[in-house]
């Protein structure tokens, strides 16, 4: 019997050997996973034996299958339930990521960003102190013991006094609550100065920036009037990293991380992108495809690309990153690290866009400068484009429990539960995957989405194909590198002290 | 004037270029009414949507584009509707089969996010009112909703099937 027969849905006599499984062919191999995320990669011959129950009970294959809890006669239901529970641990807590858009004003103009910015004279797009305080009051009502407040914009440094007030107010309010509170700022760094930096370092605000690759590409995509946006950011990255070292912090853990947006022009320049990140001292590169949010239709043609082209770029770039790791350079790719953590450790790093159910509204919230609350930053960007579907409250009038149980949030949780999705229910990657209702809504006209037509599904599937290929064929040294990428080290320094003067 | 569209079965899909609309005839024995509603609803931002019965065994769906469009645009609407219809029908069946798993994870996610009510929440709660609006009778027992005898009284398998058939032409999960 061939795999083609199985795929045609013909009746199959498995001899009662396999426990529940899902499978997918990748080249000459077949990935098999269980409902709780145990996995094995088999040759086609081994897979046929597994299906028919024709596996030597004293042989190594049977042993491997038993170890992965994939054999019906030895199936350990308690172990499977525990593993499933562990993977879904995140459902026990509410939003831990809170994005605060403190202003829409920005001094840079980026080709892929229209909905998230306003000119520097648009003072009405600054968040007020009163709105900021009401947002913090709501944030600290979350049931999550971990809270990260991420300052976004616009450019948050434009409204620095409100950033400062939020940090001080939230830290003060948290004293009686004892949550693990952290602050992150995503800034283009061009408006940084020594006074602001000293304050941010003293208040343990983690700093992130955006780097779109080598200088020529970065400057072309992120325009700063009369100046190079790359030259405006780069010295500050070095300066901040030096400050961390001077403070005695481990540079492998404490350094500026950067965010990349992959546009059409990035695809050919994968090597330069990786080299740029290494040269800047970054330890992680997130090869994110461009979002469909926030830019006008005519811009789409300039920045968008077919997903096959993206996946070819992804493979080349990650192969190169692995090659650099072999040479002793420590840098990881973020998508790979997220999926590998799920695949190799049985844990879930709670990356909010790649989990099931998704994190919108129940794992993250976004607070717009005007006080409107959205399910996520993507929902906010759609709001800025005139689509208020994902607006779920207002900091002045909404109560915490009403926000996280808002009908839109409920619909999104159902829509992003992959166990209810055609395609996903037959896909071996479902234990590790996720979908984003805002993305589906924007690209396919329905929060549920149709995975066969979803570019996000194509990206997730392609990346997981690549990773399972690697896990099946890589040498021991490469496997060690991939395992290393799953190590999560806490950055304790960025956690705010809860005791007065601490 | 109605005309066929490239690659679309003319017995099922017709277009009226002058009116900017596409007319689809959906076999009611293949697709449940809920799937037709769900698929049609996805188009209301882009189209004016009209549903009715073309024949006793067929639904008619008329999608009129809000913005002027050509034959290619109408073909895309018809194709997308057909794909969404299949996805909705299949999703409904999958949801029925996986209901336990979906419900337990989703309920835990909401319970986890909401946490117990605070004193403020309880204070704001109106205990004097009806527990909550339930126009579809979701919180009612099956017997109350359909005025059937309670278990123990005489009840038969065909009664259940009849109710299912009455509420859902496909005989799927009715309540
Ligand atoms: S989203 Fe795509 S890759 Fe992910 S589980 Fe569903 S079908 Fe598989």
Q: How many domains does chain B have?
A: 1
State whether the beta carbon of A457 lies less than 6 angstroms from ligand 1. Answer: yes
What pLDDT is attached to residue A500? 65
Structure tokens at A373: 């609350």
Convert A5-49 into a string of H (helix), E (strand) and C (coil): HHHCCCCCCCCCCECCCEEEEECCEEEEECCCCCEEEEEHHHHHH
pLDDT in tens, A456-495: 999 999 999 999 999 999 999 999 999 999 988 888 899 9
Structure tokens at A334: 């973020």
Ligand 1 centre from A157 Cα, in Å?
A: 38
What pLDDT is attached to residue B158? 33
The model carries a pTM of 0.84
What pLDDT is attached to residue B142? 54
pLDDT in tens, A29-58: 999 999 999 999 999 999 999 988 999 999
Angle between helices A455-473 and A307-326 (to 10 degrees): 30
| B126 in any annotated domain | no
In the CATH hierarchy, which fold is given to the domain comprising A89-384?
A: TIM Barrel (3.20.20)
Q: Which one, of A179, A181, A178, A119, lies nearest residue A153 by Cα?
A: A119
| B63 in any annotated domain | yes
Contacts of A365 (CB under 8 A, 6+ apart): A95, A97, A98, A99, A139, A373, A374, A375, A376, A403
Q: What percentage of chain A reaches a pLDDT higher than 70?
A: 95
Q: Indicate the DSSP class of residue A501.
A: T
φ, ψ of residue A116 to 5 degrees: the values are -100, 10
State whether the beta carbon of A435 lies less than 6 angstroms from ligand 1. Answer: yes
What pLDDT is attached to residue A406? 96
Residues A285-300, mean pLDDT to the nearest whole number: 80
Structure tokens at B11: 């017995």
Q: What percentage of chain A reaches a pLDDT higher than 90?
A: 83
pLDDT in tens, A54-105: 999 999 999 999 999 999 999 999 999 999 999 999 999 999 999 999 999 9
Q: Do A425 and B98 touch (CB under 8 A)?
A: yes
Which residues in chain A have their CB less than 8 angstroms from residue B95's CB? 420
CB A39 within 8 A of CB A45: no
Task: Work out which ligand 1 atom sits closest to the CA atom of A464.
Answer: 3
ipTM of the complex: 0.75
A39-43 sheet: strands from edge to edge = A22-26, A29-33, A39-43
Nearest residue in chain B measured CA to CA from A362: B113
Contacts of B60 (CB under 8 A, 6+ apart): B23, B24, B25, B26, B50, B51, B52, B53, B54
What pLDDT is attached to residue A1? 39
Partner B contacted by A140 (CB < 8 A): no
The Cα of B98 is separated from the nearest Cα of chain A by a number of Å equal to 7
Structural domain range at position B49: 2-99
Angle between helices A44-52 and A60-67 (to 10 degrees): 70
| B145 in any annotated domain | no
| B118 in any annotated domain | no
CATH number at residue B16: 3.30.70.60
Q: Domain limits of chain A? A: 3-87, 89-384
Query: Residue A155: is its pLDDT beyond 70?
Result: yes
CB A343 within 8 A of CB A39: yes
| B109 in any annotated domain | no
What pLDDT is attached to residue A497? 85
Query: Residue A304: is its pLDDT beyond 90?
Result: no
pLDDT in tens, B18-56: 999 999 999 999 999 999 999 999 898 899 999 999 899
B2 DSSP β-pair partners: B16
pLDDT in tens, B139-168: 555 555 555 555 444 433 333 333 333 333
Structure tokens at B173: 């999960």
Angle between helices B71-97 and B99-114 (to 10 degrees): 90
Query: Residue B134: is its pLDDT beyond 80?
Result: no
Please report which helix (H) or strand (E) contains residue A60, including its range.
Answer: helix A60-67
Q: Do A404 and B84 touch (CB under 8 A)?
A: no
| B120 in any annotated domain | no
Q: Do B91 and A357 touch (CB under 8 A)?
A: no
| B15 in any annotated domain | yes
Q: Do A450 and B101 touch (CB under 8 A)?
A: no
A208 DSSP β-pair partners: A186, A257
């Amino acid at each position: 019997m061939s795999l083609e027969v199985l795929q045609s849905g013909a009746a199959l006599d498995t001899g009662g050997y396999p426990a529940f499984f899902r499978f997918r062919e990748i080249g000459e191999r077949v990935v098999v996973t269980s409902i709780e995320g145990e996995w094995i990669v088999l040759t086609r011959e081994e897979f046929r034996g597994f299906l028919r129950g024709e596996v030597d009970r004293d042989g190594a294959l049977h042993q491997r299958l038993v170890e992965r809890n994939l054999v019906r006669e030895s199936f350990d239901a308690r172990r499977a339930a525990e593993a499933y529970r562990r993977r879904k641990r995140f459902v026990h807590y509410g939003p831990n990521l809170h994005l605060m858009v403190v202003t829409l004003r920005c001094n840079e103009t980026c080709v892929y960003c229209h909905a998230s910015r306003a000119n520097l004279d648009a003072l009405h797009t600054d968040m007020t102190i009163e709105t900021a305080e009401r947002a913090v009051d709501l944030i600290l009502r979350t049931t999550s013991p971990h809270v990260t407040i991420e300052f976004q914009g616009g450019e948050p440094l434009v409204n620095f006094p409100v950033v400062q007030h939020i940090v001080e107010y939230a830290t003060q309010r948290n004293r009686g609550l004892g949550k693990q509170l952290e602050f992150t700022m995503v800034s283009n760094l061009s408006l940084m100065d020594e006074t602001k930096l000293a304050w941010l370092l003293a208040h343990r605000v983690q700093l992130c920036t955006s780097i779109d690759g080598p200088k020529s590409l970065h400057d072309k995509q992120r325009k700063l009037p009369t100046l190079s946006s790359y030259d405006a950011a780069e010295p500050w990255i070095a300066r901040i990293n030096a400050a961390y070292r001077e403070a005695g912090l481990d540079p492998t853990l404490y350094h500026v991380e950067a965010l990349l947006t992959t546009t059409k022009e990035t695809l050919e320049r994968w090597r330069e992108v990786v080299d740029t990140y290494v040269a800047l001292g970054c330890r992680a590169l997130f090869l994110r495809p461009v979002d469909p949010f926030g830019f006008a239709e005519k811009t789409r043609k300039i920045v968008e690309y077919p997903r096959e082209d993206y996946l070819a770029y992804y493979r080349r770039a990650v192969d190169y990153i692995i090659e650099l790791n072999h040479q002793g350079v420590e840098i990881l790719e973020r998508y790979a690290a997220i999926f590998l953590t799920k695949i190799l450790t049985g844990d879930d790093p709670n990356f909010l866009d790649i989990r099931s159910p998704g994190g919108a509204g129940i794992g993250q919230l976004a607070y717009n400068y005007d006080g409107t609350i959205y399910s996520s930053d993507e929902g906010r960007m759609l709001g800025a484009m005139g689509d208020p579907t994902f607006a779920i409250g207002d900091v002045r009038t909404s109560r915490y429990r009403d926000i996280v149980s808002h009908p839109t949030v409920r619909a999104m949780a159902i829509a992003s539960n992959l166990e209810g999705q055609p395609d996903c229910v037959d896909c071996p990657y479902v234990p590790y995957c996720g979908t984003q209702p805002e993305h589906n809504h924007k690209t396919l006209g329905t929060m549920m989405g149709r995975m066969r037509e979803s570019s996000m599904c194509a990206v997730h599937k392609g990346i997981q194909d690549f990773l399972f290929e690697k896990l099946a064929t890589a040498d021991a040294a490469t496997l060690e590198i991939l395992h290393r990428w799953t190590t999560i080290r806490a950055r304790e320094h960025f956690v705010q002290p809860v005791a007065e003067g601490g | 004037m109605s005309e066929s569209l490239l690659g679309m079965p003319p017995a099922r899909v017709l277009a009226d270029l002058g009116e900017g609309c596409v007319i689809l005839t959906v076999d009611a024995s293949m697709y449940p009414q809920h799937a037709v509603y769900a698929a049609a609803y996805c188009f209301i931002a882009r189209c004016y949507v009209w549903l009715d019965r073309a024949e006793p065994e067929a639904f008619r769906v008329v999608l009129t584009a809000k913005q002027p469009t050509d034959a290619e645009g109408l073909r895309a609407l018809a194709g997308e509707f057909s794909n969404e219809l299949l996805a909705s029908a299949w999703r409904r069946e999958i949801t029925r089969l996986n209901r336990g798993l979906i419900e337990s994870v989703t309920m835990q996610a909401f319970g986890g996010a909401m946490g117990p009510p605070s004193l403020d929440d309880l204070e704001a709660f109106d205990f004097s009112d009806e527990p909550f609006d339930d126009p579809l009778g979701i919180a009612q027992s099956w017997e109350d909703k359909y005025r059937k005898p309670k278990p123990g009284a005489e009840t038969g398998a065909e009664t259940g099937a009849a109710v299912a058939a009455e509420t859902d032409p496909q005989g799927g999960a009715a309540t």
